[in-house]
Amino acid sequence: MEEEPRVTAASKRQPFKSSLQTQHNSDFSRCCHRKTISRPYSAHAPNARLNLPIDYSTTPLLNHTSQSALSHPELPQNVRQSKTQRQNLFQAVNSALRHALASDERVLLFGEDVAFGGVFRCSMNLASDFGAERVFNTPLTEQGIVGFAIGLALEGMRPVAEIQFADYVYPAFDQLVNEAAKARFRTGSTGMHCGGLVVRMPSGAVGHGGIYHSQSPEALFTHIPGLHVVIPRSPSQAKGLLLAAIACNDPVVFMEPKILYRAAVEQVPVEGYTLPLDKAEILKEGKDVTVISYGTPLYNCSSAIEAAEKDFGIKAELIDLRTVYPWDRQTILESVKKTGRAVVVHESMVNAGVGAEVAATIQEGAFLRLEAPVQRIAGWSTHMGLVHEKFNIPDIARIYDGIRRTIEY
């Protein structure tokens, strides 16, 4: 029989650390004494309290009613008076592309298998509706796809180039960094630029993608002046941000979290609309700690905040960066100056990630208001193992523990 844990002065000073560690040790012990583990992929531990699957049908991050969707303050008045349609994220992307193609003849859509609908069906039926001259397949060459798109943009077109997976964008890295990003600077007063160029790519972990289908390479592009790097969290955000990216006069790297393509479903305005590319969004207001993230991890952040607020009696502020470069420093600094504490969460590797830049900016701009060091909760600095994806990226327990450490400091 297991002995009851001894109550000591130290354990009294750290009540929830003790209970959390006890539960963790108990779960770990049970796992270690099993002879076999039959789960083919990593999943939440048995009897887990925090790391449960996200319930996308109830999460407050999605608009579950038309009224909620149409009340968004960033929508123009005519859209707020229109109708909505229930869509998942890939359908919202399709809707945005359809609106762009229909409203501007300069818009072209191309990439590997795009004419057939694409791997994730984002371009379904667009080739049949708009013709092979505007929606078409390309050879399997990422460098060629982006290079071709840059040439079109320099000639005044608005090309939307799809990279089938973000993991395959590296051959096109030179084109994006040395050509697309530098075009406006290099051409000076001639007026030539790569505005209207959008490079779409599915990114992030999907649960079983492994080293070549689950990467989050956004930090590589956030070092490059001249590029916008955008990552939507939901269908309605994807539609508005993608249309804004196509209308933007700078090249945009648009990264779509592939796990959300079908998982995230909400009411989306039917009309075309744009959302600001230079503004973070406060999803939930609070006074004790600021949690900053973008894309898929926002859902884990929301669940971790719900548990932390219940357990610790705090109110957390949750902010979606949306555009990770150039990002909205003012909104972040104002929030941290109010709360005095900050936790930055992202799926990509912790080393030289987006969180490092956010943390450094907070240290420079809000140092005298900080009550605790800035916490970075991110992916480990290793490659994405096939059966270990859920252990590699921030889960609810890690975010919860980061909030706990911050408020206890």
pLDDT of residue 263: 97
Catalogue all structural domains in the chain, each as residue range(s) with its CATH number.
66-269 (3.40.50.970), 280-408 (3.40.50.920)
pLDDT of residue 404: 98
Q: Which residues pair with 350 in a beta bridge?
A: none
> Each residue of 117-167: pLDDT tens digit?
999 999 999 999 999 999 999 999 999 999 999 999 999 999 999 999 999
Taking alpha carbons only, the member of 313, 356, 359, 310 closest to residue 333 is 359
Distance CA 162, CA 61 (A): 27
> Each residue of 294-332: pLDDT tens digit?
999 999 999 999 999 999 999 999 999 999 999 999 999
Taking alpha carbons only, the member of 252, 327, 318 closest to residue 285 is 318
The H-or-E segment that residue 85 falls in is: strand 84-88
pLDDT for residue 66 is more than 50: yes
Contact present, 378 and 348 (Cβ < 8 Å): yes
Contact present, 341 and 316 (Cβ < 8 Å): no
pLDDT for residue 233 is more than 70: yes
SS (H, E, C) 204-268: CCCCCCHHHCCCCCHHHHCCCCCCEEECCCCHHHHHHHHHHHHHCCCCEEEEEECCHHHHCEEEE
Confidence of residue 388 (pLDDT cuts 50, 70, 90): confident
User: Is 142 designated active site?
Assistant: yes
Which of 142, 256, 266, 389 is the catalytic position?
142
Confidence of residue 385 (pLDDT cuts 50, 70, 90): confident
Confidence of residue 43 (pLDDT cuts 50, 70, 90): low
Instruction: Give pTM, 2 decimals.
Output: 0.89
Q: Indicate the range of 35-39, 189-193, 245-249 predicted with least confidence.
A: 35-39
Mean pLDDT (the chain, rounded): 90
> Each residue of 4-40: pLDDT tens digit?
444 443 343 344 343 444 444 444 344 444 444 455 5
pLDDT of residue 17: 40
Q: Which residue has the tokens 């080293």?
A: 211
Determine the average pLDDT of the residues in 221-246. Answer: 98
Amino acid at 47: N
pLDDT of residue 36: 44
pLDDT for residue 2 is more than 50: no
Which of 213, 218, 266, 347 is the catalytic position?
213
Identify the three-state secondary structure at position 396.
helix
> Each residue of 253-291: pLDDT tens digit?
999 999 999 999 999 999 999 999 999 999 999 999 999
Above pLDDT 90, what percent of the chain?
Answer: 82
Contact present, 96 and 238 (Cβ < 8 Å): yes
Confidence of residue 45 (pLDDT cuts 50, 70, 90): low
- CA angle centred on 383, ends 380 and 387, rounded to 5°: 95
